[in-house]
Amino acid sequence: EAAVTQSPRSKVAVTGGKVTLSCHQTNNHDYMYWYRQDTGHGLRLIHYSYVADSTEKGDIPDGYKASRPSQENFSLILELASLSQTAVYFCASSDAREQYFGPGTRLTVL
């Protein structure tokens, strides 16, 4: 079965601090995604990537950077965390037929 893992699973950060969320997949998929989920907003696409060392902006990229150092790893970086970035973040990998999601990271910014 497809496997996507995320770390940490939960994090509390301070406003203005730097936060890095990590994602690792063992599916050998080319495409990887970062989404955030807030109550009432479904899933919103932040960044995605189709090859190592390249990332693309999604629909809500402001305040976020992404890094894809290898096919297996995809990170989401919040350089200056803000209260509005409190949310659950999901990473996914895709074989174009289906997206496989990780368990999510609950981020609370205080």
Partner 1 sequence: QQKVQQSPESLIVPEGGMASLNCTSSDRNVDYFWWYRQHSGKSPKMLMSIFSNGEKEEGRFTVHLNKASLHTSLHIRDSQPSDSALYLCAASMNTNAYKVIFGKGTHLHVLP
CB of 82 to partner 1, least distance (A): 22
What is the chain's Cα-based Rg? 13
Bridge-based pairing of strands 105-109 and 10-13 is: parallel
Which residue's CB is nearer to partner 1, number 14 or number 97? 97
Per the rule left: phi > 0, alpha: psi between -120 and 50, beta: everything else, 28 is: left
Residues that bind partner 1 (CB under 8 A): 31, 33, 35, 40-45, 48, 50, 56, 58-59, 90, 94, 96-99, 101-104
CB of 30 to partner 1, least distance (A): 9
